[in-house]
Amino acid sequence: MLAGFSFIITILSYVGAKLLYRKKQSVFLSPLVICPFVLISLLLSFHVSLETYSAGTQWITDMLQPAIVAFAVPLYKYRALLKKYALEIALGVFGGSIIAIVSSVMYGKLFHLTPQLLDSLAPRSITTPIAMNISQTIGGLPAMTASFVIVTGIAGIVAGPFILKWLPIHHQVSKGMLLGMGAHGAGTAQAYEIGSIEGAIASLTMIVAGIITIMVAPILVPHLH
């Protein structure tokens, strides 16, 4: 019964937030901002535990992994552009991935987080399904990692438009990389609102960042404790 409740409120929250965002396209009304607030309020009001909620929405979580495959479509469409800027994208994403891991752990240590929470925080700058798998591999808590990823995404889509406005960033590739690296899936969705090329670059950035983090995090994170 409660599992069905979890599923229904998740879908209704998203649909409602999406309709609201279409009427008023403000970053603060993004479904990624509205949905967590609504869901947390409902769970607290009806005294539904996180475990019960997760059980009712597990299949949605499982669909995150095959959903990533959809990003291959725009990548194929703009393959010539991606080849042209392959070196710049590769170097930028590699540097961004390393900085994201190191800064996450360092900030965590600054606030005296436990080693397990540090491991959970380290992969926060990549898409949720990959981040959760990495977290489990290096000894973190996947559920906490998912929360960190969401917070990172929200912060990224809120700060992204201001950064693009304040800094002289005009190139489509640069915009896509900034949003894809800084806010992963949420940033990619925001990049597609700017343009299809920005969205494709953000998609590639997010995917490459995930691959790099998979290879680097298990080696790097233990040395940062």
pLDDT band at 3 (very low <50, low <70, confident <90, very high): low
Same domain assignment for residues 82 and 43? no
pLDDT at residue number 97: 95
- What's the mean pLDDT in 22-29? 81
- What's the mean pLDDT in 100-113? 94
Q: Which of 209, 132, 129 is nearest to 119 (CA)?
A: 132
Q: Name the least confident of 57-66, 137-146, 189-198.
A: 57-66
Same domain assignment for residues 89 and 157? yes
**Cα gap 73→159, rounded to integer Å:** 28
Element holding 178 (H helix, E strand): helix 172-194
Q: Which residue range is the domain that position 9 belongs to? A: 1-62
pLDDT at residue number 88: 92
Same domain assignment for residues 56 and 69? no
Answer with the one of 9, 39, 62 that is the final residue of a domain.
62
Same domain assignment for residues 142 and 52? no
pLDDT band at 2 (very low <50, low <70, confident <90, very high): low
Same domain assignment for residues 79 and 189? yes
Same domain assignment for residues 40 and 72? no
**Cα gap 36→153, rounded to integer Å:** 12
The predicted-structure confidence for 27-73, as pLDDT tens digits, reads as follows: 778 887 888 889 888 888 888 887 788 888 888 877 777 777 777 77
pLDDT at residue number 70: 75
- Give the rounded percent of residues in the chain with a pLDDT score beyond 90: 43
> Domains in the chain: how many in total?
2
Cα angle value 172/92/202 (rounded, 5°)? 45
Whether the pLDDT of residue 109 is over 90: the answer is yes
Same domain assignment for residues 27 and 103? no
Same domain assignment for residues 15 and 118? no
Same domain assignment for residues 56 and 71? no
Same domain assignment for residues 143 and 211? yes
Are 92 and 181 within 8 A, CB to CB?
yes
pLDDT at residue number 143: 85
Same domain assignment for residues 83 and 144? yes
pLDDT at residue number 220: 94
**Cα gap 27→170, rounded to integer Å:** 20
Q: Which of 2, 9, 173, 10 is nearest to 91 (CA)?
A: 173
Average of per-residue pLDDT values in the chain: 88
Answer with the one of 62, 78, 113 that is the final residue of a domain.
62
Answer with the one of 42, 62, 82 that is the final residue of a domain.
62
Whether the pLDDT of residue 1 is over 70: the answer is no
**Cα gap 176→192, rounded to integer Å:** 9
Same domain assignment for residues 78 and 183? yes
